[in-house]
Amino acid sequence: MNLPAPDPARTRRGRLMLVALFLLFFGSAAGAGLLRLSGWMPAGLKNHGELLQPPADLREMRPLLADGTPYEWNPASRTWRIAVAPPAGCAADCGHLLAELDKVWRLFGHNADKVEILWLGALPPGAPALTELRPLRDDGTLRAALPRADDPAGIPLYVIDPNGFVILRYPPQADPAGIRTDVARLLKLK
Protein backbone atom coordinates (compact mmCIF):
# COMPACT_ATOMS: atom_id res chain seq x y z
CA MET A 1 0.00 0.00 0.00
CA ASN A 2 1.35 3.34 -1.06
CA LEU A 3 0.82 6.32 1.30
CA PRO A 4 0.91 9.83 -0.11
CA ALA A 5 4.03 11.84 0.73
CA PRO A 6 3.55 14.24 3.67
CA ASP A 7 3.13 17.88 2.76
CA PRO A 8 6.19 19.72 4.19
CA ALA A 9 4.26 23.00 4.64
CA ARG A 10 1.53 21.24 6.61
CA THR A 11 4.08 19.41 8.79
CA ARG A 12 5.92 22.68 9.51
CA ARG A 13 2.63 24.44 10.40
CA GLY A 14 1.69 21.61 12.78
CA ARG A 15 5.06 21.76 14.51
CA LEU A 16 4.85 25.54 14.88
CA MET A 17 1.36 25.18 16.36
CA LEU A 18 2.66 22.61 18.87
CA VAL A 19 5.57 24.89 19.87
CA ALA A 20 3.19 27.87 20.21
CA LEU A 21 0.86 25.88 22.47
CA PHE A 22 3.83 24.71 24.55
CA LEU A 23 5.10 28.30 24.94
CA LEU A 24 1.63 29.61 25.75
CA PHE A 25 1.08 27.07 28.52
CA PHE A 26 4.55 26.78 30.05
CA GLY A 27 5.53 30.41 29.33
CA SER A 28 2.64 31.81 31.34
CA ALA A 29 3.43 29.42 34.21
CA ALA A 30 7.11 30.45 34.09
CA GLY A 31 6.13 34.15 34.03
CA ALA A 32 3.88 33.69 37.07
CA GLY A 33 6.64 31.82 38.86
CA LEU A 34 9.14 34.62 38.16
CA LEU A 35 6.69 37.24 39.47
CA ARG A 36 6.09 35.19 42.60
CA LEU A 37 9.80 34.65 43.24
CA SER A 38 10.50 38.35 42.77
CA GLY A 39 7.99 39.14 45.54
CA TRP A 40 5.52 41.00 43.34
CA MET A 41 1.85 40.79 44.34
CA PRO A 42 -1.18 42.56 42.92
CA ALA A 43 -2.07 45.70 44.90
CA GLY A 44 -5.40 44.20 45.96
CA LEU A 45 -3.68 41.33 47.77
CA LYS A 46 -1.10 43.32 49.74
CA ASN A 47 -1.49 44.09 53.42
CA HIS A 48 -1.47 47.71 54.47
CA GLY A 49 0.22 46.73 57.71
CA GLU A 50 3.51 44.93 58.22
CA LEU A 51 3.03 41.15 58.37
CA LEU A 52 4.99 39.97 61.40
CA GLN A 53 7.17 36.93 60.75
CA PRO A 54 7.02 35.18 63.13
CA PRO A 55 3.93 36.54 64.83
CA ALA A 56 4.24 37.53 68.49
CA ASP A 57 2.57 34.93 70.71
CA LEU A 58 0.42 36.41 73.51
CA ARG A 59 -1.56 33.24 74.29
CA GLU A 60 0.17 32.59 77.62
CA MET A 61 -0.30 36.17 78.81
CA ARG A 62 -3.29 36.98 80.98
CA PRO A 63 -3.87 40.72 80.63
CA LEU A 64 -6.15 42.42 83.13
CA LEU A 65 -8.95 44.75 82.18
CA ALA A 66 -8.95 48.19 83.84
CA ASP A 67 -11.43 46.91 86.44
CA GLY A 68 -9.05 44.07 87.41
CA THR A 69 -10.89 41.16 85.76
CA PRO A 70 -8.80 38.92 83.48
CA TYR A 71 -9.12 39.35 79.74
CA GLU A 72 -9.54 35.97 78.03
CA TRP A 73 -8.41 35.38 74.45
CA ASN A 74 -11.28 32.92 73.84
CA PRO A 75 -10.43 31.62 70.33
CA ALA A 76 -13.86 30.00 69.94
CA SER A 77 -15.51 33.43 69.75
CA ARG A 78 -13.50 34.25 66.58
CA THR A 79 -12.90 37.81 67.81
CA TRP A 80 -10.15 39.86 66.15
CA ARG A 81 -8.48 42.64 68.08
CA ILE A 82 -6.91 45.96 67.22
CA ALA A 83 -4.39 46.74 69.97
CA VAL A 84 -3.00 50.12 70.95
CA ALA A 85 -0.09 50.62 73.38
CA PRO A 86 0.17 54.41 73.81
CA PRO A 87 2.87 56.02 75.94
CA ALA A 88 1.97 57.35 79.38
CA GLY A 89 0.53 60.86 79.37
CA CYS A 90 -0.79 60.65 75.83
CA ALA A 91 -3.65 63.14 75.48
CA ALA A 92 -4.58 64.90 72.22
CA ASP A 93 -2.98 62.33 69.89
CA CYS A 94 -4.63 59.48 71.80
CA GLY A 95 -8.04 61.15 71.72
CA HIS A 96 -7.79 61.58 67.96
CA LEU A 97 -6.58 57.99 67.52
CA LEU A 98 -9.44 56.66 69.63
CA ALA A 99 -11.96 58.59 67.51
CA GLU A 100 -10.40 57.19 64.31
CA LEU A 101 -10.51 53.62 65.66
CA ASP A 102 -14.17 54.08 66.62
CA LYS A 103 -14.92 55.10 63.00
CA VAL A 104 -13.03 52.07 61.71
CA TRP A 105 -14.96 49.79 64.08
CA ARG A 106 -18.33 51.26 62.99
CA LEU A 107 -17.46 50.66 59.33
CA PHE A 108 -17.31 46.91 59.96
CA GLY A 109 -21.12 47.00 60.10
CA HIS A 110 -22.65 43.63 60.95
CA ASN A 111 -19.14 42.22 61.58
CA ALA A 112 -18.32 44.86 64.21
CA ASP A 113 -19.21 42.47 67.03
CA LYS A 114 -16.25 40.31 65.92
CA VAL A 115 -13.71 43.11 66.52
CA GLU A 116 -12.51 44.59 69.82
CA ILE A 117 -10.12 47.45 70.48
CA LEU A 118 -7.62 46.74 73.24
CA TRP A 119 -6.19 49.90 74.83
CA LEU A 120 -3.12 49.24 76.96
CA GLY A 121 -2.92 51.78 79.78
CA ALA A 122 -4.93 54.81 80.83
CA LEU A 123 -7.51 56.17 78.43
CA PRO A 124 -7.11 59.77 77.27
CA PRO A 125 -8.96 62.38 79.35
CA GLY A 126 -12.62 62.67 78.31
CA ALA A 127 -12.58 59.42 76.32
CA PRO A 128 -16.10 58.32 75.42
CA ALA A 129 -17.47 54.99 76.63
CA LEU A 130 -17.26 52.84 73.49
CA THR A 131 -18.79 49.36 73.36
CA GLU A 132 -15.86 47.94 71.39
CA LEU A 133 -13.17 49.35 73.68
CA ARG A 134 -11.47 47.06 76.22
CA PRO A 135 -9.12 49.16 78.36
CA LEU A 136 -6.34 46.99 79.81
CA ARG A 137 -4.12 47.70 82.78
CA ASP A 138 -0.68 48.78 81.67
CA ASP A 139 1.50 45.69 81.74
CA GLY A 140 5.21 45.96 80.95
CA THR A 141 5.39 42.31 79.88
CA LEU A 142 2.54 42.69 77.40
CA ARG A 143 3.95 45.99 76.13
CA ALA A 144 7.36 44.35 75.62
CA ALA A 145 5.75 41.48 73.67
CA LEU A 146 4.36 43.93 71.09
CA PRO A 147 7.01 44.44 68.37
CA ARG A 148 8.53 47.94 68.45
CA ALA A 149 5.78 49.35 70.69
CA ASP A 150 8.05 52.19 71.85
CA ASP A 151 8.30 53.77 68.40
CA PRO A 152 9.62 57.36 68.78
CA ALA A 153 7.55 58.44 65.75
CA GLY A 154 4.24 57.85 67.56
CA ILE A 155 1.76 55.13 68.44
CA PRO A 156 1.83 51.91 66.41
CA LEU A 157 -1.27 49.72 66.07
CA TYR A 158 -1.48 45.92 66.04
CA VAL A 159 -3.93 43.31 64.81
CA ILE A 160 -4.25 40.25 67.05
CA ASP A 161 -5.93 37.09 65.76
CA PRO A 162 -8.59 35.19 67.74
CA ASN A 163 -5.94 32.87 69.24
CA GLY A 164 -3.74 35.64 70.64
CA PHE A 165 -1.06 36.00 67.93
CA VAL A 166 0.00 39.52 66.91
CA ILE A 167 0.03 39.20 63.13
CA LEU A 168 0.09 42.77 61.77
CA ARG A 169 1.81 45.98 62.88
CA TYR A 170 0.89 49.43 61.60
CA PRO A 171 3.35 52.30 61.89
CA PRO A 172 2.43 55.51 63.70
CA GLN A 173 -0.01 57.70 61.75
CA ALA A 174 -1.10 54.73 59.61
CA ASP A 175 -4.14 55.31 57.43
CA PRO A 176 -7.21 53.97 59.26
CA ALA A 177 -8.69 52.90 55.91
CA GLY A 178 -5.82 50.43 55.48
CA ILE A 179 -6.46 48.94 58.91
CA ARG A 180 -10.14 48.60 58.11
CA THR A 181 -9.37 46.91 54.77
CA ASP A 182 -6.95 44.41 56.31
CA VAL A 183 -9.21 43.49 59.22
CA ALA A 184 -12.26 43.23 56.92
CA ARG A 185 -10.33 40.67 54.84
CA LEU A 186 -9.42 38.76 57.98
CA LEU A 187 -13.04 38.73 59.14
CA LYS A 188 -13.97 36.85 55.97
CA LEU A 189 -11.68 33.97 57.01
CA LYS A 190 -13.57 31.22 58.80
Cα–Cα distance, 157 to 186 (Å, whole number) = 16
Question: pLDDT tens, 151-189?
Answer: 888 888 899 999 989 999 988 888 888 888 888 888 876
Average pLDDT on 20-37 reads: 85
H-type alpha helices, the chain: 8-38, 92-106, 140-145, 176-187
Contact 92, 182 (CB under 8 A): no
**Strand 115-120 to 133-136 pairing:** parallel
Rounded-to-integer distance, Cα 114 and Cα 13, Å: 61
Whether the pTM exceeds 0.95: the reply is no
